[in-house]
Chains A and B, each alone.
Chain A
Amino acid sequence: MKLKKPEMTINGEIQISYNWSPGKAGERFFRDLRDHMKIMGTRCRKCSRVLVPPRIFCEECFTDDMEWVEVEPKGTLATFGDCYFSTDGKRLEKPWILGIVRLNGSNGGLIHYIGEATAEELKIGMPMEIVFKEQREGNILDILYFRPVKE
């Protein structure tokens, strides 16, 4: 069923810019990411789970008795998805890939790009590592992408 186009429309868009607080946990995370290329998580002193992205509280124990710990910039690939088309519908020569990686020794995970690999080379559960950006600004894009750990 093809929709008839309405003859008259009122056009508009909600355009509002934002300056979000990274939050108490985000602030520390992004400072260490920017200044030291370190991935920091918070460990719940009660259940010992390490949260990445970090939180000032543990959602399981519902306490803010947390401590900061450094997490290895390596993890396992939980899943991934690839894209073959450009916005104007052309087939891309090199598809881009998004993935979720669970960092070693942590609960939770990060969603980010996957680089230096094709979808065919990727497998759920394979070891991945972070590639950092050289010029870092203190946000999640300071991580360039994840790539498979080279043997």
Chain B
Amino acid sequence: MARRVALVGVGMQKFDFRKTETVEEMVFDVARNALEDAHLQKENIDSVVFGSAVDAFCGINNSDKTAIDASTGLWKPTMRNSTSGSTAVSTPILGYNHVACGLHDLVMVICFEKMSENASAQAVFSTVYDEAFVRPIGLNVPIQCGLEARAYLHRYGLTERQMAKVSVKNRGNALSNPYAQLPMKLTVDKVLESPYLSWPVKLLDTSPVTDGARAVILASEHVARELTDNPVWIRGVGRGADSVWFMGRKNNDLGRLDYAYLAAKQAYDMAGIKNPAAEIDYAEVYDPFTYKEMQHCEALGLCPEGGAGKMIDDGISLKEGTLPVNASGGLQGEGNPIGAGMSRLCWCYLQIKGQAGDCQVPKDVNTAVCNAWGGMYQYNAVMVVGRD
């Protein structure tokens, strides 16, 4: 039987376009911050789980291995996970497994990405495509998102204006986040006026290229109870991945993320959540592009399928709404250092603890959900965290 696992600390740092620190120095910063947050020493940590999406971003093969000394993982078991953007939540799930299976009691999970040092992040992204069928065509991220977003808007009759509102909300929320890279006071019109990358995706629908890291510390039940009276538990985890051949998936529709529904169902089943829209108090939803937040809100059951437009129109996902989404600013406002999108999980923890500072939502948060998306537009990882 799986053991219960709690979150007992997070390590934050500011996200930037370019950090002058090396990968190792960034990792040290968040690892130390997490130890301080959890009132632990390096020696207490049993093992380390790394998450970093693409080595080609920082140009170091097995980049996590250059940061062992800085991670608290020296002479301990360390393991690195890499599922592109979804690394951000699949990595803490791997950390969860370390504790839940009974092997380790305190696990440091560190996600990092250094994206500023390569000549072009888009050139790096092009190396993820299949070399025989896709790479030679010159497919890139904006166009692929255009393909997906067009299918999504078409399927559910949603609008660019609704997408723009997500950008306004998230970049505006980031104004309260001290770690944010790109806080902006925007209007819907301004987003709509920004240049198209690939219809319907515009510049202000996207998230920036970012350097940054995050750490969380996971603990077994008996250790968590020693550390705190009121632990934040990992109540549900879920993963799902569709075929890497995005051109020909079973449902033949890029607009519906079957794999995300699959991941969410697992996590909710495990957490015993039947009606997420009512039972979830707060959500940090993966939003590298505005329409992704909308798709993910639907897949996570925070609104009905196809209802994400109405959700943002009605102000439900605003910071002061009934189900706030990305009060931290999300990837759009806080920055998008791919793997270190684990920040989504960190903010769920901070909201539940009441430690989200100016980002704290004006309601009680007992149960929160976060997700991350990646792979070849085919992988979703979901985590539900909350109090007893």
Give CA–CA (A10, B134) in the complex, Å: 12
CB pair B59–A10 under 8 Å, yes or no, is: no
Stretch at the interface among A55-63, A92-100, A130-138: A55-63
Residues of A within 8 A of B120 (CB): 16
A57 to chain B, nearest CB (A): 5
Q: Can you report 27 residue pairs joining A to B where beta carbons are below 8 Å apart?
A: A10-B131, A10-B132, A14-B56, A16-B59, A16-B118, A17-B119, A18-B118, A18-B119, A19-B119, A20-B117, A21-B21, A21-B22, A22-B22, A23-B20, A24-B20, A24-B25, A25-B25, A26-B22, A55-B24, A55-B69, A57-B25, A57-B28, A57-B32, A57-B70, A62-B31, A62-B35, A62-B72
Complex Cα distance A62/B58, Å? Answer: 24
CB distance from A19 to the nearest CB of B (A): 6
Which B residues are CB-close (under 8 A) to A20? 22, 58-59, 117
Q: In the assembled complex, how far is the CB of residue A151 from the closest CB belonging to chain B, in whole angstroms? A: 37
Tell me if A56 and B25 are in contact (CB < 8 A): yes
Smallest CB separation, B40 vs chain A (Å): 10
CB of A64 within 8 A of chain B? Answer: yes
Q: Which residues of A contact B132 (CB under 8 A)?
A: 10
A27 within 8 A of B: yes
- Which residues does B use to contact A, with CB under 8 Å? 18-22, 24-25, 28, 31-32, 35, 41-42, 56, 58-59, 69-70, 72, 74, 117-120, 123-124, 127, 131-132, 135-136
Chain B residue contacts of A27, Cβ below 8 A: 20
- Tell me the minimal C-beta distance from A146 to chain B in angstroms: 23
**1/0 per residue A59-88: CB within 8 Å of B?**
100111000000000000000000000000
With CB as the reference atom, state the residue of chain B lying closest to A23. Answer: B22
Among B19, B24, B135, point to the contact of A12 (Cβ < 8 A). B135
Chain A residues in the interface with B (C-beta under 8 A) = 10, 12, 14, 16-27, 55-57, 59, 62-64
Are A21 and B32 in contact (CB-based, < 8 A)? Answer: no
Task: Tell me, rounded to whole Å, the shortest Cβ–Cβ distance linking B118 to chain A.
Answer: 5
Nearest first, the 9 A-B pairs at minimum CB distance are: A23-B22, A59-B69, A62-B42, A18-B59, A17-B119, A57-B28, A10-B132, A21-B20, A18-B117
Q: B117, A62: Cβ atoms under 8 Å?
A: no
Give Cα distance in the complex from A14 to B59, angstroms: 11
Q: Which residues of B contact A23 (CB under 8 A)?
A: 20-22, 24-25
| Contact indicator B56/A16 (Cβ below 8 Å) | yes
Return the chain A residue nearest B130 by Cβ: A10
Contact of B119 among A16, A24, A62 (CB under 8 A): A16
A62 to B75 CA separation, bound complex (whole angstroms): 14
Q: Are B131 and A12 in contact (CB under 8 A)?
A: yes
| Nearest B residue to A56, CB-CB | B25
Contacts of B119 in A (CB 8 A): 16-19
A25 and B42 alpha carbons, distance in the complex (Å): 21
Say how far B126's CB is from chain A's closest CB, in angstroms.
9
Residues of chain B within 8 A (CB-CB) of A22 are 22
CB-nearest residue of chain B to A12: B131
B215 to chain A, nearest CB (A): 13
> What CA separation (Å) do A131 and B274 show in the bound complex?
70
Inter-chain CA distance A26–B21, complex, in Å, is 9
A132 CB → nearest B CB, Å: 24
Instruction: With both chains docked as a complex, state the minimum distance between the C-beta of B139 and any C-beta of chain A, in angstroms.
Output: 15
B178 to chain A, nearest CB (A): 20
Which one of A21, A57, A59, A62 lies within 8 Å of B19 (CB-CB)? A21
The residues of A that contact B24 with a CB separation of less than 8 Å are 23, 55
The CA-CA distance from A14 to B74 in the complex, in Å, is 31
CB distance from A12 to the nearest CB of B (A): 6
Complex contacts, A63 vs chain B, CB 8 Å: 32
Q: Which residues of B contact A21 (CB under 8 A)?
A: 18-22, 117
Contact for B28 among A10, A12, A26, A56, CB less than 8 A: A56
Q: Which residues of A contact B58 (CB under 8 A)?
A: 18, 20
Question: Roughly how many angstroms separate A55 CA and B127 CA in the complex, as a whole number?
Answer: 32
Determine the distance from Cα of A146 to Cα of B41 in the docked complex, in whole angstroms.
39
Chain A hits for B74, CB < 8 A: 59
Q: Are B118 and A24 in contact, CB atoms less than 8 angstroms apart?
A: no
Q: Within 8 Å CB of B124, what residues of A?
A: 16
Beta-carbon contact of A17 and B22 below 8 Å: no
Please report the C-alpha to C-alpha distance between residue A23 and residue B18 in the assembled complex, in whole angstroms: 12
Q: Which residues of A contact B20 (CB under 8 A)?
A: 21, 23-24, 27
Q: Give the shortest distance, in Å, between A129 (CB) and chain B (any CB).
A: 27
When C-beta atoms are compared, the residue in chain A nearest to B45 turns out to be A62
User: How far does the Cβ of A49 sit from chain B's closest Cβ, in whole Å?
Assistant: 12
Contacts of B72 in A (CB 8 A): 62
A27 to B31, CA, bound (A): 22
- In the complex, which of the residues A16, A26, A57, A64 has the most CB atoms of chain B within 10 Å of its own CB atom? A16
